[in-house]
A = this chain, B = another copy of it.
Amino acid sequence: MSSQKYAIGLDFGTESGRAVLVDVADGREVATAIHAYGDGVIDEVLPGTDVGLPHDFALQNPADYIEVLRVTIPAVLSKAGVDAQDVIGLGTDFTACTMLPVDGEGTPLCQRPEWRDNPYAWVKIWKHHAAQPEANRLNEIAEERGEGWLQRYGGKISSEWMFPKIWETLNKAPDVYAAADRYLEAADWIVLQMTGQERRNSCTAGYKAIWHKRDGYPDDEFFAALDPRLRDVVDAKLSRQIYPLGQRADGLTPAMADLTGLRTGTAVSIGNVDAHVSVPAAAVVEPGRMVIIMGTSNCHMVLGTEEHLVPGMCGVVEDGIIPGFFGYEAGQSCVGDHFAWFVKNCAPAAYQEEAEARGIDLHQLLEEKAALQVPGEHGLLALDWWNGNRSVLVDVDLTGMLLGATLSTRAEDMYRALIEATAYGTRTIIDTFEENGVAVNEIVACGGLPERNKLLMQIYADVTGREIRVSASQQTPALGSAMFGAVAAGRAAGGYDTIFEAVPHMARLKDEVYRPIAEHRAVYDQIYAEYVRLHDYFGRGENDVMKRLKTLKARVQGPVGAPE
Contacts and interface: CB of A to CB of B under 8 A. Distances in A.
Interface string A340-363: 010011111101110000000000
Contacts of A557: 377
A186 B375 CA distance: 45
Given A374-B561, A376-B555, A411-B346, A401 B403 contact: yes
Nearest to A409: B345
Contacts of A492: none
Contacts of A240: none
Interface string A212-243: 00000000000000000000000000000000
A1 interface: no
A349 B346 contact: no
A519 B537 CA distance: 31
Interface in A252-289: none
A556 B347 contact: no
A407 B374 contact: no
Interface in A400-439: 400-407, 409-411
A381 interface: yes
B379 A550 contact: yes
Interface in A517-564: 519, 523, 526-527, 530, 533-534, 537-538, 543, 545-546, 548-550, 552-553, 555-557, 560-561, 564
A406 B386 contact: yes
A533 B543 contact: yes
Contacts of A107: none
Contacts of A376: 549, 552-553, 555-556
A337 interface: yes
- Number of chain copies forming the complex: 2
A399 interface: yes
A176 B298 CA distance: 64
A123 interface: no
A75 interface: no
Interface residues on A, range: 35 or more
B403 A399 contact: yes
A77 interface: no
Contacts of A381: 545, 549
Contacts of A390: none
A561 B411 contact: no
Given A376-B552, A543-B533, A560 B349 contact: no
Interface string A370-390: 000011111111000011000
A348 B403 CA distance: 21
Given A347-B349, A349-B349, A375-B556, A400 B411 contact: no
Nearest to A554: B379
A180 interface: no
A557 B351 CA distance: 24
Interface in A308-341: 334, 337, 341
A542 to B, nearest CB: 9
A538 B380 CA distance: 14
Contacts of A380: 549
A341 B353 CA distance: 19
Contact of A407 (B334, B351, B402): B334
B534 A545 contact: yes
A543 to B, nearest CB: 7
Nearest to A405: B400
Contacts of A345: 348, 409-411
A406 to B, nearest CB: 6
B560 A523 contact: yes
Contacts of A404: 399-401, 546, 549-550
17 contacts: A341-B407, A344-B348, A345-B410, A346-B346, A348-B348, A349-B351, A349-B353, A376-B555, A377-B556, A380-B549, A381-B545, A386-B405, A386-B407, A402-B402, A526-B548, A527-B549, A533-B545
Interface of A: 334, 337, 341, 344-349, 351-353, 374-381, 386-387, 399-407, 409-411, 519, 523, 526-527, 530, 533-534, 537-538, 543, 545-546, 548-550, 552-553, 555-557, 560-561, 564
Closest 10 CB pairs of A and B: A400-B405, A349-B352, A379-B553, A376-B556, A349-B349, A401-B403, A376-B552, A399-B404, A530-B545, A346-B346
Given A377-B553, A519-B560, A530-B545, 12 more contacts: A349-B352, A352-B352, A374-B561, A376-B553, A381-B545, A381-B549, A386-B407, A399-B404, A401-B405, A404-B546, A523-B556, A533-B543
